[in-house]
Amino acid sequence: MSAAAFEGSPRILVFSTINISDPGIDLAGSRHLEYPATVQTLAVPCSSGLKPSWLIHALDSGFDGVFVASDGEECSFLPDCAERTAQIITQAQEIMSERGIPAQRLKMAALCSVCAEPFANYMREFSATLKKLATELSVV
């Protein structure tokens, strides 16, 4: 990943949950909130069902960052969804560390069905973080 790799905004893949975070992301779009156009979403039933290898694969496939929109405490499948998802993120970041991939390229936050503004803010902030990281890596 280098600053020259993207001229506008970094490519971000968002794993969102069908029942909880997807409606909030859809609301951000219908309210025309601004966030990078290079954000793509992939809906999953529950964030605790993700595999660390999927997150790494997204980075290996050309995404500059991966964002997991966790169900948090609102998950209808598991009462400990947030803890399980946090463990998945930790495992993925351990693999990333072993492979020399900066941990900042993976982020998780709980998003609810009405979290349109927080989602747009997360995407703008994450994009800025990825741009800064790319610049720092290109200087080294």
User: How far is 2 from 24, CA to CA, in rounded Å?
Assistant: 31
- As a whole-number percent, the residues of the chain with pLDDT over 90 amount to 61
Task: Tell me what the mean pLDDT of segment 60-82 comes to.
Answer: 79
Lowest-confidence pick of 41-45, 70-74, 91-95, 118-122: 70-74
Residue 135 confidence (pLDDT) = 86
Q: Class of 10-139 per CATH? A: alpha beta
- Which band of pLDDT confidence, cut at 50, 70 and 90, is reported for residue 5? very low
User: How far is 85 from 101, CA to CA, in rounded Å?
Assistant: 20
Task: Tell me what the mean pLDDT of segment 5-33 comes to.
Answer: 86
Q: Where are the domains of the chain?
A: 10-139
